[in-house]
Structures are given as C-alpha cells and as structure tokens.
Amino acid sequence: MMKNKLFQALVLGLALVACTAKKAPTTRIRMRLPTEPPTLDWDLATDNVSKEIIFNIQQGLLRHDADTKPIPALAESYEISKDATAYTFKIRKDAKWSDGRDLVAQDFVDAWERVLNPKTASEYAYFLFDLKNAKEYQSGALKDFSQVGVKATDAKTLVVNLKGPTAYWLHIPAFWISFPIRKDIVEKYGDRWTDVEHIVSSGPYKLKEWHRDSKIVLELDPNYYDKQADRIPEVEFRIVKDDSVAVSLFETGDLDIVRNLPPSQLRSLAKTPEFRSSPYLRLTYFGFNIKDPAVADPKVRKALAMAVDRSEIEKLLTPMAKASAVWIPVDLAGADAERGIKTDVAAAKALWAQVKNPPKELEIWFDQNETYKLVAENLQNQWSRNLGVNVKLSSQEWKVYLKQLSTKAPAIYRMGWGADYPDPATFMDLFTCASGNNFTGFCNATYDKNIQQSGISTDPALRQKLYSEAQKIFLEDETAIIPLFQEQSMHLVGSRVANFKADLIGDFFFDRLRFK
C-alpha cells in the first residue's frame, strides 16, 4: 500500500513537472540570477549581476553589436575630429525616457558630472579619465565641472573632448558608466531613486517588479525608439542561489536561460543540445592586499604564486576554465604568454625558506559560489601540501563580499574581471593607482605611466611592449595578484529561444532575442 502511494506521488510529481514545462509563458522569458543585484544605480554598479538588469533597462550613446563593435544607440550618429580628440554625438530625435520625457544631451552631462563628483565615490569613475580635466575634477583639484571635456551644445548634440587620441575610447559610450541619468529623479528620491516606483530609464525594457531575493521583472518600454513588434514582451530574472537548483529548474521548463553552471555537472551538460559555449574575455584571480601584514613581504606573495599548479584547477573546472598565468587574455592584442609566474614548487619552497617570519596561517576569502569554493579548497590543499601553510576559508554572499572588498580587502581574496570592451586597456586600467576597482593596494608610477602611454598610442607594437612591461611589474616583480584561469562563456538556452549569441564580453541583449 505504501509503495503504491509513493508510486502515485512520483507519477503526480512527474505530471506536474511536464505540466510546468508545457505552460511556459509565451510573453515572458526567464533567466536565472545567482544572487540579488547589489545595485541598479549604473553610476555605482561594478558587477556582472547588476549589469544583467542595467544593460536591458538602460542604454548609452552607443552599444555593442554581436561582434562587440560599437554601433549607434541613443546617438543616431557621431563624428570624430581629425586629431581623434573630439567626438560629436547626435542624439536621436525620438529618444525618450520611460516616463515619456525627451532624452537630451544634458542628461549625459549630468550623468558624467555625477560619476566624476568625488562625493559619489563611483568606483568606475576612472573610465572617464580620458576626458579633458576629468581626473582633476574627480580628485578635487578642479572645482569647475564646466572645464571638463563634455558639453551639450544644444538639446540633441553632445561634444566630448579627450586629453589626447585614445585607441579604445569609442567603446566607453557603450559601457554603463557613461549612460545618461535623470538628475531630477536622483535629487528627488536620493538613494531610493532606483526603486520600482521611482526609476526612469531609457533602454528597451523598464523595471516592472523587484521582489527582493526572489525575482525582478522587466517589461517593454513603449517609449523606446526601436519599436520592433516581435520583441519579447517581458523578462523575468529569477534569483536562484544554488547552481544545481537552477539547472533543475531549467530541465523542468521553469527557466529559459541559465549561466553559472555547477562544475560537477559541466561535462554532462556540455553534451546536451541546450548547452552553449563561446570564447569569453574573463579571468579569475586571487588578489593580495599587499598592505596586509600577512602578505606584505613580496617573497611571500611570489612563493604562494609559484606553489600553485593551475592545471589542477583546470581539470576541476573543465570545460569552463583554461589555465592562465597572464592577465591580458590570449584573445586580445597585447597578450604576452611569457608574462606571469609559472608553477615551480621547488623554487617556491626555497623562496619561502628565505622569509624571516613566514605566516603559519592564512585566510582566503571568496564569494559564495560552488565554483569558487572548489577553487579555494584546491588552493588551500596546494599551499598546505607545498608550503606547509594552514589555510582557512571564508565566504560571503556577493553583495556583502563586494562591500567588504571596497572597504578593506582581506589579505587574499577571490575576484574576477571580464572585459568591459575588447581592448587590453580594460584589464590593465584595473590596477592603476586611480582605479576604484583596485583592491590590492598596488600603486606603481611606472606601471601607471605605461598604461597611460599605451592608451593614447595607435602603434600596436608599442602598445604590446608597454603592456608586457606593465604585466611584469605587477605580476612578477610585485605579485599583486595570481591569475588562475580564463573562462568560457557557458549557458543553457531553452529550445524556444532564438537569436541567442553571447559576445566576447559575455553579453547578450534581450531585445535581440526572439521566441521560436
């Protein structure tokens, strides 16, 4: 009798699963988010989770196409001066905010002033430092924002003046830190301006619902300039913290798109027709807070780096990870395979023996994620095995973890960096003295000079040389970080989704997707 009841329950459960899959909403596409977005304020956002929402509700002068080339967006056209220092953007006449108000050039000026205002404390402010006088204004040395190189010459014309020719700059107007903002909304609602009832945006979708730690729903913005009739009406981001649970929801038809796949299932998932994999300009590393007494000695950091066999981690995470000791990904110009500290356990032990008071115990921090837990455990094992160090592990939820890093980074921490645009500058700018995303405490004048010179150079050979020298400084001489692996972009994509293509930056846009 009990067996019959269990059998009936199992059949009923399977029927419910089948029913769920058949009743997938025809108006809504559903994607998994691994955690609650830390913020939807695009002047303050620094992470990929927040980006998923921001890139669909908001837009910039330009956007990237599927091949990561900048194309017109809120600007219908642009002109570049002969000396490549002045950019003139013409805003679309039909560009509007989600509340129906015309979008004007001054909205960009207001946004960039807010980003560069020292009181805003935007960690991405350095992305605008190529503008004339931008760095000086952000540092407080210049008080008059009208001296910064951005002007609204009329309602629909924005003129940008750079300090000098900048090889990668056309990608910046496609990145969220350059997106326009409604100054009146921010001033009226303060920290609550991104709440559902207040937020005003200019992208293809607008925020409809935000249920904290549960789901976020977007709906098409009727005021958006591109009014293609077959766009997907609604997007639901469901917050599912466990990777395996997310895969199960995909398999039952409750999710259409899943990224951040569980490492224990990667090999089997890679054999399914729903699995999508493509090159990805993203690296995972463990960084050092070089000011922390535990790792302040460069010999300690270098020995720890030499004691890591990255091939062990690659085997753990196949097919997601490809071991990498360098910082500029191999797919980018400027990459140099000779840079970085390679595995040499014997040399690591010898160097460790030279340290006067080597730490007997270390703590490594990472964000709560199955993949990074495996990586941290592997490092724990390798450093214990190779150097005799007792290693403790500490993990935190993503939002809390980010706040900790920006306040005071622990001695050793896990972090990743994905390209914001397809140029080595996006990786190398990260560790300049002025970078708000540099949690290492590393600050080197020669490094900064190389990065500045490479940014304004259009000579590929010179840029290669400058970047190679800079990588040597912070990877080998100072060992501020230990790069571990370059990722593949991996997703599960449901059979009813068409036009899915992740670019080199790992992005895709919902207004380009369709239902089959």
Average pLDDT over residues 212-229: 94
Average pLDDT over residues 319-325: 95
Three-state SS for 3-69 is HHHHHHHHHHHHHHHHHHHHCCCCCEEEEEECCCCCCCCCCCCCCHHHHHHHHHHCCCCEEECCCCC
Task: Output the pLDDT for position 229.
Answer: 83
Under the banding of pLDDT at 50, 70 and 90, the label for residue 228 is confident
Full-model pTM: 0.88
Task: Output the pLDDT for position 23.
Answer: 65
Phi, psi of 481 (to 5 degrees): -145, 165
Placement of tokens 């990459």 in the chain: 335
Please state, rounded to an integer, the average pLDDT across all residues of the chain.
93
Q: Are 68 and 505 in contact (CB under 8 A)?
A: yes
Task: Output the pLDDT for position 13.
Answer: 43
pLDDT digits (tens, 9 = 90+) for 474-504: 999 999 999 999 999 999 999 999 999 999 9
Judged by average pLDDT, the poorest of 72-86, 217-231, 328-342, 413-427 is 328-342
Strand 275-288 and strand 62-64: pairing? unpaired
Is 133 exposed, middle or buried (CB count within 10 Å of its CB: 0-12, 13-18, 19+)? Answer: buried
Q: Are 133 and 142 in contact (CB under 8 A)?
A: yes
For residues 382 and 78, give the distance between their C-alpha atoms in angstroms, rounded to a whole number. Answer: 53
Under the banding of pLDDT at 50, 70 and 90, the label for residue 17 is very low
pLDDT digits (tens, 9 = 90+) for 97-146: 999 999 999 999 999 999 999 999 999 999 999 999 999 999 999 999 99
Task: Output the pLDDT for position 264.
Answer: 92
pLDDT digits (tens, 9 = 90+) for 51-80: 999 999 999 999 999 999 999 999 999 999
Q: Is pLDDT of 6 > 50?
A: no
| Residue among 372, 309, 370 at smallest CA distance from 343 | 309
DSSP 429-491: GGGSTT-TT--S----HHHHHHHHHHHH---HHHHHHHHHHHHIIIIIIS--EEEEEEEEEEE
Phi, psi of 140 (to 5 degrees): 95, -5
pLDDT digits (tens, 9 = 90+) for 173-190: 999 999 999 999 999 999
Under the banding of pLDDT at 50, 70 and 90, the label for residue 14 is very low
Task: Output the pLDDT for position 41.
Answer: 98
For residues 136 and 130, give the distance between their C-alpha atoms in angstroms, rounded to a whole number. Answer: 11
